Each structure stands twice: as structure tokens, then as C-alpha cells.
Structure 1
Amino acid sequence: MLQLQAIREHKDQIISALKKRNIDGSALLEDVLVLDEKRRTTQTHLDSVLAESNSLSKEIGILYKSGKAQEANRLKEKTASLKEESKQLAEDLNNAAEALQTLLYTIPNVPHESVPAGNTEEDNEEVFREGNIPTLEKEALPHWELAKKYDIIDFELGVKIAGAGFPVYKGKGARLQRALIAYFLDKNTEAGYTEIQVPHLVNELSGYGTGQLPDKEGQMYHITADDLYLIPTAEVPVTNIFRDVILNETDFPICYTGYTPCFRREAGSYGAHVRGLNRLHQFDKVEIVRVEHPSNSYYALDGMVEHVKTILRELNLPYRILRLCGGDLGFTAALTYDFEVFSTAQDRWLEISSVSNFETYQANRLKLRYKDENGKSQLAHTLNGSALALPRVLAGILENCQTPSGIKIPEVLVSYCGFEMID
């Protein structure tokens, strides 16, 4: 959530920056300032009425003690009137504050200056590419056909149990899933991230804290009886550990990693591009989350990008990195790098990770602060990234590592899964 002070002081710069997202923020920010002025004016008026009421109450007490009951009673009539006025002002203040908060929730983060302008994913900027795209046999298959051929993923059985988008992993497919999770967690902990296990359901406050609510409310599974949400990513419960927390500067950096299943309704996703593992309602992901001092957050983001690179190098998968344009940037992010693996069998790039810096946007929602060297509270910066999401990594391994005799497992995973080939 954008800070009110920043909107007051830098309205024109924010309006200009939001244009990268193809948003005209002029009316929105003006409405924010009008509501903010109303809230502050009402607060000042309320404070004045309460102060007058308190002063009169003291005076009434003195008058009674002095035997001036008639004068005291006249003042009591006035305090009664002030009490009614303060009650109405308090209600007006609450309404203005709620309206202001609701409006602020609808404004996305300001893009970083390096974010390219653009409308769609076609305008994203490729900043890095590495790895050789393999030449496959003519009879090479996409992963959903390989899954059926080697009986390692059963999409039809998932439909029977739950519906489309809920695959069942079997035999070596299940073991490879488990191997990838363990491998990703080991790589992350070796890089200094503390492993953590978190709930797979969160309350509404947590959804608002990291920005999934109200922006992605329709994409989250909502358990209405308990008013809980199935998590779309481990980012939500892990980052909310720090909701309403005040840190010390010496606490930075805070680095967590966690494995969770993720649940997304993916409403409106149809067609061949979402076939097989390309788009699921339930999938596994290992996440990395950082809480950083503002002065270090972009160095940390670069470090997270390099970390994901090392994983993909070890998996020997061809990949590229995109700097997302304003039109494709997530609601809460200031800057995002997407990692994509090339699927030779599908002849297309598959997104497998997003690494983002949210700057103070989530921290402002979370009330996540730290005490600076002068003892003043400041907002921290939050970052997160997938390291990595399993479905499309698995699709890339199955498709790019297929041979006439079977699927050759990347060497780094053999010790984790206990076999070298799926045949």
C-alpha cells in the first residue's frame, strides 16, 4: 500500500510512474488526498470538541464544590451537547478512515524506474539467457504424453478425484517431485535461508497484508464457513510472520524458505497453453522470502536472481530472464524478474519463477517496521521469489531430457530420487 505522506509530497511523480502500468492515477490520487484531508479535518475537530468537553467537566466539578450548582447544571447541558457532537464526529472519522483505506487498497505499487513501459508480456524485456536448447528426436513428446507413456502422472485420475488441474503423481513421478522439493530446500538453506513450515490456510488479514486481497480475491479458494483462504503461495503465510512487528536494524537480513502446496482457482484459464502441468489449481512450490533494510533490498534482489540461476544451471535446463514491463507487473511488485525454461517439445517458454522486490508496499500494509539508528520507526522492504515452482520445472525436465530409451534425470537429482532414468 502506498504511503499517504508519499502521495501528499510526490503526487505528480507517482501519477507519472503509474502510467507504466497503463493506469491514469490522477483521479485516484486526488480522491485519496480529498479523503485524507477530510479525515484529518474531522480528527482535528473531534480533538477540539473532546478537549472542550474535558475542560468543562473539570469546571463543573469546581462549581459544584463551590456551591454553584445552577451554573454547573447549565454547563452540564453544554457538555451533553458536546458529547453528541463528538459521537457524530467519531463516526464520521471512522467512515472517512475506512473509505481512505479501501481506496488505498485499490492502488498498485509504483514501478521501479528500471521497469520498461509496455502493455502485455510481449513487451517484457529479456535481460539474460543461458543454456543450450537440445535437439530432440522427431518422435519427441510433450510432457503430458510422456506422463502417460511412463505412467508417472495421471491427469484423468486427478479429474476423477477433484477435477481438472489436480494431477496425481505416481511411482517415479512422485519420487521425482519429492526429490525436487528436497533439492530446492537444500540449495536455499545452503544459501543462508532458514527453512520454515507454515500453515496452508490464512485469515483475511494475512491476505490483505501481502496484497492478495482484495486484488486476487476471485483467484483464491475461500473456505466461507471459517473465513479462511487456501494459500496461493508460501509468500503469504511466511511474510505475515512479520505483520505488526518492529525489528531492529541488526535483525537484517531475514531470509526464510519454505515448501508448500499452492492453490489457485485460475478462473478463465483454458486452451492448449494450459494443458498438462502448464497451469494447475494445486501445485508444489518452494519459496524464498526476505525482509531487508531499504538500502540493501536491490542488492538482495540481485542476489536472489543469481541464486535461482545456480539452481537452473545445475539442472542443466535452458532458461531466460525477463524484466517485466509495467503492464505485466504484479499488483504489489515494484520490480519483477521472471525466469522461463524453454520447452523443446512444446516449442515455447514456460515461466518457472518470479523474483520480486515490493519495497515498502507490503510492509505498509503489514505495519512491518524497524527502528533506525535514531530510534525512529521506518518501513522495511520485503522480497520474495520462487526457488522453484515444481510443475513447469518438471515439465522442462521431462521434455528436454527425453531420449529414445527414456527420460534421463539431471545428475544433481539422482542422489535425491535414487534413479537415473525413467523408462
Structure 2
Amino acid sequence: MLSRQTLRDEPERVREALEKKGIEDVDFDEVLDIYEEWRELKGEGDTLRHERNEVSRTIGELKQEGKEAAAQEAIERSSELKARIQAVEKRADELEAQLEEVMMRLPMVPAEEVPVGADESENVERRREGFDDLRALPDEVTPHYDLGEELDILDFERGAKVSGAGYYFAKGEGARLEHALIQFFLEVHREQGYRDVFPPLPVSSKSMEGTGQFPKFTEDAYRVEGEHDEPYDDDDLWLLPTAEVPVTNMHRDDILLDDDLPLKYQAYSPNFRQEAGEHGTETRGIVRVHQFNKVELVNFVRPEESYDRFERLVAEAEEVLKRLELPYRILEMCTGDLGFTQAKKYDIEVWAPGDEMEEGPELGGRWLEVSSVSNFEEFQARRAGIQYRPERHESAEYLHTLNGSGVAIPRVVVAILEYYQNEDGTVDVPGALQPYMGGQEVIEGHEPVGESALGAGERE
């Protein structure tokens, strides 16, 4: 969350952040009113306690001097002060709780260099990679959802039968491809100095608050434990939407040492999101599904190093696409498309040539976001109480957190099936991935099984 000093010293900057990020469910004037009353009461409480201490000190002196009447007046004044202090503290505590709640709904202020824009149409393309030497593609590239079914490596019908819309089976070489990508990504990031973490999949409400998913995005999460039609409690459990949540909260309420930083974790996990699969044409295939695999990169860094580390994190995330020789681009999010928690964010979008989109690239196909690399500055650290001590004798300070997907796997599968497909309907395995596929060079698919795979004549 934002610091109260920011609220005090830069209220208009916070108001501007609300406008730029399009957040309309916060009455900022009410927030300021609560904050100002709380500040005034805290100041009044300090003044009253100081006066009561002075009065209490004089009572003994007055009694020693035999000034009983004056001492009695001082006792009565001390009682009055005590009653007023109790009333002030009670009201201040009420306001403290209100302030804590509304502060959780204030977004991170965008970094000054973030481009101003209303929505995703005003994001800024920073660069493209891998387009200078594109491989020869079939005259008509088959979309991954058709090709996956033809090769019998993706099964949407059985996924829906087992779990409902938005789920799929990866089968045979399709499953092998996902497993290979997971291992490949993890190995690349180990080379970059990342420490492996395999996190628990259920996470608490408190953890979701720590990284900023709650209270704003409760409707997108899968609740595991707790009353499903009631507001959440701290001890409710949810399926993780991203490994960012458990990995960041590993150090909730911790004080790290300067020597620990930068701290770099990577975590593979399945991820669960209710919002996926609700975006028109993207409900076909595996571009938007409710469960998907991802490798997440999480960094804990010193504040003065966070923007240098941010650029390095972008390079670390995109390295897997470079090695797979998949064309992609880097987008900088404008203020209107910047998330609730981020100060700055880049998206990495891979090119998938198989599906013509109305607003797709000029060379056909479409862009698929496979990674969002974000700098949260101290926003998450404040919410989760994550600090570090620059020197052992110095006070603890809030550090900065960053993360990025390294990367989302289903959309990379889409890009591989569409970009590496051949005229005969087979798919070449990228060279960098072949060692993780047991040396396999081509995905040829499988014969389907069961009576449903037979033609009408064969079934008779």
C-alpha cells in the first residue's frame, strides 16, 4: 500500500493516480477526511498525554508543599485528561481501522516516466525481436485449436466433460511439450541465478492482500475454504492465481539483511483464474483457460536498485523466447492499462501466426501476452510487512518487490504449434527444446482412441 507520508505530502499525486488508472470506486475526499481527522486526534492525544504527565508530576510536589487544594484541582484535572485521552484514543482507533481499510483500496502511483494513456490502445511498443529471419510458414497456418485436435495432442471436449468450459487435456506429445517447456524454463532461470521454490497451491486471504490481489479482485479467485457467499476472512483459502502470491508472502513480516539482496526466486505452479475464458474469440483453444502452467520470477531488491533490476528482469524473462527463436515484442503499459499494484510494467507478447484477429499485427496472426514484468516499488512490501536492514545497527526499511512470468506456458504452446508447423500438419520442435523432449525433432501426433474416433461406417 501507499505510505501515509505520501497521503500527507502528495495527495494530488495520489488523486491523479486514481484518475490515470481508472479507479472509480474510491471516494478520495473521504479518504483525506478520515486521514486528517486521524492526524488531528493523534496530535491531540500526544498533547493531552504530555499535559497529563506534567499534571501528575505536580500533584506530588503540591502535596509535599502542603497545597492540598491545588493538589486536588490537579487530581481532578488529571481525571478529566484521562477521560478525554480515552475518548480520543477510542475514536482514533476507529479511524485507524477505517483508514487501514481505505488505504488497501488505493492503487500504486505510476512511475513518472510511465506513458499517460486511457487504455491498452495507448500502450507503447518498445521493440521487436526475431522478425528479421522468420521461418517459412505454410500458405495457410492452421490455428492451434484445430491443429491440436487433428494431432490429438489437445482435447477440449474431454476437458469440458471432466471440468467444464475453460479446461483442456494436453495428451501424448502435447503433454510432453508442456513438461519440456517447464523444465526448459526452470533450467534457463537457474543459469540466471534464480533459486527454485515449489509453493503450496492454496493461499490465505492475508497472502492475497499482501500482493494486492485482494480486496479488489476477489471475484477472479477460486475459493477453496470459507463461506462462498460471504466476505472473506483472513483464514479463508484460495487457489493461487499466480505463484507471485505465495512466493512474495514467504517473507511476509520478515526483516531481510542487506547481504541477502537481491533475492531471486523462481517457482513453477499451476494457476487458477475465474476471469479467464470470458473474452469472446479467445474462448477457443488454450489462450484463455481457467487453469494454466507458469514459471514465475520474484525479486526482492534494495530500493535504489529496483529499476536497474527491472530492466534485467525483462531480459531474463524474454531469454526463453530468444532461445526458442519465437518472434515477440515488448510493450510498455500506459497509465490506463497499468495494474492496481504496479508502478511500471512491460508486457512480453509472442507472435502466433495462426489466427487472424481484427486488431492483430500487420503481418497477420495475433500477439499473445506471455509475461508481465512489474515493479511494485514498496507497495507490496508495505502491505506484507517485508523489510530489510541496510546495516545491522540501522533501522529496518521497506524493500522493493518485482516479478515477471518466465513465462506462461499455454500461450507458448500456441506459438510453437502455429509458428513451427509444417505443410504436412506436423510441428518442428525448436532446437533449444529438443533435449527436453528426449531428442524428438518433430511432433507428428497420435491416432485418436475410442468409438468416437471412428467413422459412421466403421462404428456399424
| SS of the residue 2:110 aligns to | coil
Per-residue deviation at 1:143? 0.8
- Correspondence 1:409 to 2:409: no
| SS of the residue 1:233 aligns to | coil
Per-residue deviation at 1:371? 2.2
**Residue number among 299, 313, 322 corresponding to 2:322 in the alignment:** 313
* Map of 2:171 onto structure 1: 170
Listed one character per residue, the Cα deviations across residues 277-299 of structure 1 (whole Å, up to 9, x for unaligned) are: 11011100000000111111111
Per-residue deviation at 1:417? 1.7
Per-residue deviation at 1:256? 0.4
**Residue number among 414, 433, 439 corresponding to 1:395 in the alignment:** 414
Taking the aligned partners of 2:145 and 2:205, their CA distance within structure 1 comes to: 36
| SS of the residue 1:242 aligns to | coil
Tell me: CA distance 1:114–1:63, structure 2 relative to 1, closer, same or farther (3 Å).
closer
* Map of 1:365 onto structure 2: 383
- Correspondence 1:237 to 2:246: yes
Taking the aligned partners of 1:351 and 1:143, their CA distance within structure 2 comes to: 16
Per-residue deviation at 1:240? 0.8
Give the alignment's TM-score, normalised by structure 2. Answer: 0.83
Give me the CA root mean square deviation. Answer: 3.0
Identity, in percent, stands at 41
Tell me: CA distance 1:23–1:208, structure 2 relative to 1, closer, same or farther (3 Å).
closer
* Map of 1:11 onto structure 2: 11
Assess if the C-alpha contact under 8 Å between 1:109 and 1:361 holds in 2: yes
Partner amino acid for 1:11?
P
Taking the aligned partners of 2:103 and 2:118, their CA distance within structure 1 comes to: 23
| SS of the residue 1:336 aligns to | strand
Tell me: CA distance 1:41–1:129, structure 2 relative to 1, closer, same or farther (3 Å).
same
Partner amino acid for 2:36?
E
Partner amino acid for 1:43?
K
Per-residue deviation at 1:130? 1.1
Is 391-400 or 302-311 further displaced after alignment? 302-311
Structure 2, unmatched stretches of 5+, are: 227-234, 356-364, 445-460
| SS of the residue 2:376 aligns to | strand
Per-residue deviation at 1:119? 1.6
Is 100-109 or 132-141 further displaced after alignment? 132-141
Per-residue deviation at 1:405? 4.9
* Map of 2:442 onto structure 1: 421
* Map of 1:337 onto structure 2: 346
| SS of the residue 2:351 aligns to | strand
Partner amino acid for 1:155?
F
Listed one character per residue, the Cα deviations across residues 301-351 of structure 1 (whole Å, up to 9, x for unaligned) are: 111111223211111111001001111111101111101111111111111
Assess if the C-alpha contact under 8 Å between 1:20 and 1:116 holds in 2: no
Taking the aligned partners of 1:120 and 1:49, their CA distance within structure 2 comes to: 50
| SS of the residue 1:402 aligns to | coil
**Residue number among 237, 243, 249 corresponding to 1:228 in the alignment:** 237
Per-residue deviation at 1:241? 1.4
- Correspondence 1:247 to 2:256: yes
Taking the aligned partners of 2:224 and 2:86, their CA distance within structure 1 comes to: 37
Per-residue deviation at 1:248? 2.3
Assess if the C-alpha contact under 8 Å between 2:266 and 2:298 holds in 1: yes
| SS of the residue 1:214 aligns to | coil
Taking the aligned partners of 2:180 and 2:24, their CA distance within structure 1 comes to: 47
Per-residue deviation at 1:170? 1.1
Taking the aligned partners of 2:26 and 2:100, their CA distance within structure 1 comes to: 18
* Map of 1:292 onto structure 2: 301
Assess if the C-alpha contact under 8 Å between 1:371 and 1:378 holds in 2: yes
* Map of 2:199 onto structure 1: 198
| SS of the residue 2:109 aligns to | coil
Per-residue deviation at 1:73? 10
* Map of 1:304 onto structure 2: 313
Per-residue deviation at 1:79? 7.4
* 1:83-162 paired onto structure 2 within 5 Å: 85-132=84-131, 133-162=134-163
Per-residue deviation at 1:247? 2.1
Q: How many residues align?
A: 422
Per-residue deviation at 1:183? 0.7
Partner amino acid for 1:378?
E
Is 384-393 or 409-418 further displaced after alignment? 409-418
Taking the aligned partners of 1:112 and 1:63, their CA distance within structure 2 comes to: 60
Tell me: CA distance 1:272–1:59, structure 2 relative to 1, closer, same or farther (3 Å).
same
Taking the aligned partners of 2:92 and 2:373, their CA distance within structure 1 comes to: 39
Structure 1, unmatched stretches of 5+, are: none
Per-residue deviation at 1:83? 6.1
Is 38-47 or 183-192 further displaced after alignment? 38-47
Give the alignment's TM-score, normalised by structure 1. Answer: 0.90
Taking the aligned partners of 1:91 and 1:169, their CA distance within structure 2 comes to: 58
Taking the aligned partners of 1:128 and 1:274, their CA distance within structure 2 comes to: 29
Tell me: CA distance 1:25–1:229, structure 2 relative to 1, closer, same or farther (3 Å).
closer
Tell me: CA distance 1:49–1:33, structure 2 relative to 1, closer, same or farther (3 Å).
same
Assess if the C-alpha contact under 8 Å between 2:265 and 2:299 holds in 1: yes
Taking the aligned partners of 1:281 and 1:214, their CA distance within structure 2 comes to: 20
Partner amino acid for 1:229?
W
Tell me: CA distance 1:75–1:295, structure 2 relative to 1, closer, same or farther (3 Å).
closer
Partner amino acid for 1:396?
A
- Correspondence 1:323 to 2:344: no
Taking the aligned partners of 2:429 and 2:406, their CA distance within structure 1 comes to: 19
Assess if the C-alpha contact under 8 Å between 1:15 and 1:24 holds in 2: no
Assess if the C-alpha contact under 8 Å between 1:15 and 1:26 holds in 2: no
| SS of the residue 1:128 aligns to | strand
* Map of 2:231 onto structure 1: none
Assess if the C-alpha contact under 8 Å between 1:359 and 1:382 holds in 2: yes
| SS of the residue 1:353 aligns to | strand
